[in-house]
Amino acid sequence: MTQRSMAALFTAQALSTSATTIGVALASVLAVKLMDDESYAGLPSTVNLLASAFSAYFAGQYMARHGRRAGLTLAFLLGTVGAALACWQALAGHFWGFMIGILLVGLANGGINQTRYAVSELVKPERRGQFIGWLLTCSAIGAVVTRLCIPVLKQLAEAYQLPENEAGWLLSALFLALASVLVGVFFTAKPTDVPRNTARVQLSVGELLKQPQVQLALIGMMVGQGIMLMLMVMMPVHAQHMGHGLEAISTVMTGHVVGMFGLAWITGHWVDRFGARNMILAGTVLLAASAILGMLGHSITEMGVALFVLGVGWNLCYVAGSSLLTSSLPPEARAAAQGKLDVFVWSAAAAGALGGGLLVSSSGFSTMYSVALAISLITAIGVYLRRAGEVKRVS
């Protein structure tokens, strides 16, 4: 039962990553097309991130009451509706209707992003990092599937006389619908450490943040998400300013995806072997190194190395933080608490994405890199000085 459930979650992760990869790539293009104004290009991704942060709390509460299976199935289904609506409204030329679809996909992501917690609950604590790493490897597979689907998508769009960008959202809806069916039918296993008929309890955010291990996990995920989004969004723009073309920028972004997901199969094992604290420390050091490389780099190779290092740094912070958080919470309070804390994680992601653009527009790329470097180094020093000790659950 556990193997079947794990396979369903891994496959759903690959499908949802493929769906969101297609959606994110096409959303800004469609926004500009529908409004004939490039200033709207960043609005879809901003709405998506803010909606994810907003819904994470409610997704956690729902899963605490009704279980991971019901919560994740509903999240994937909501994403299906949102992607289908985005496609329909884009075809009709209605920008704000398209944005409602984007909003629904973002709300769905608040729940879908908690798949990592569902996976970690199905294995023993000493293997949680490894399995979260494997889940992220499935994200890499999903990104590859996206690449393979593009030629097929173009052929189908031509056959049915549909614009290919709008048709991409229909493919996203199909992938999310398949993920919903897989989770709803095959995800039947229960967490390994939750006794039957256990009463659910609620811990306030204040109570959670008093715990050193929870603080460490949350800081790792927030800094990882915030710095990664800040640099990932703006580094391609920096490369373009230095005269690099679309093909070169696409190549270095592929390197970034490899850094984020390609090594996840081994980084999860490192988290279990060397400890979450050490891996968060290593991740923040790599984030700082990426900022330095981006600041000093001029060639496309140097930018590519910076983006690859950024991806690996994010991976370590995200996997280690997720694993540590799951192990630090009592089973009866875990789902609700994770939802509450994910609000902070995805808010940091939205702040990073918005903050990078604001810093560049007001003070230039050097200022953005300097801010990212300062945040990463301060976090690394704080993690190094902290002695979190062995995992001790909140009681």
Give me the chain's average pLDDT, please: 86
Q: In sequence order, which residues have a C-beta less than 8 Å from that of residue 380 and are 6 or more positions away?
A: 281, 284, 285, 288
- pLDDT at residue 301, rounded to an integer: 85
- pLDDT at residue 195, rounded to an integer: 58
Return the domain boundaries, the chain.
Answer: 1-187, 203-387
Question: What CATH number has the domain spanning 1-187?
Answer: 1.20.1250.20
Alpha carbons 162 and 168: distance in angstroms, whole number: 10
Alpha carbons 379 and 198: distance in angstroms, whole number: 37
Question: Is it true that 1-187 and 203-387 share their CATH fold?
Answer: yes
What is the full DSSP assignment across 42-73? THHHHHHHHHHHHHHHHHHHHHHHH-HHHHHH
Give backbone dihedrals phi and psi of 93, rounded to 5 degrees, phi first.
Answer: 80, 20
Alpha carbons 361 and 373: distance in angstroms, whole number: 18
* Burial class of residue 124 in the structure, from the number of CB atoms within 10 Å of its CB (0-12 exposed, 13-18 middle, 19+ buried): exposed
Q: Note whether 49 and 349 are within 8 A (CB).
A: yes
Q: Pick from 11, 268, 267, 266: which is nearest to 131 by CA?
A: 268
Q: Is the pLDDT of residue 212 over 80?
A: yes
Residue with tokens 């903050």: 355
Percent helix, strand and coil across the chain, each rounded to 5? 85, 0, 15
- pLDDT at residue 4, rounded to an integer: 92
pLDDT digits (tens, 9 = 90+) for 109-154: 999 999 999 998 898 888 888 899 899 888 878 877 776 777 777 7
Show contacts of 91-94: CB within 8 Å, 24+ apart.
91/162, 91/163, 91/166, 93/34, 94/34
Cβ atoms within 10 Å, residue 32: 15
Alpha carbons 117 and 273: distance in angstroms, whole number: 19
Cβ atoms within 10 Å, residue 250: 10
pLDDT digits (tens, 9 = 90+) for 145-192: 776 777 777 787 788 777 877 888 888 899 999 999 999 999 998 886
Rounded mean pLDDT, 387-392: 47
Fold of 203-387: Growth Hormone; Chain: A; (1.20.1250)
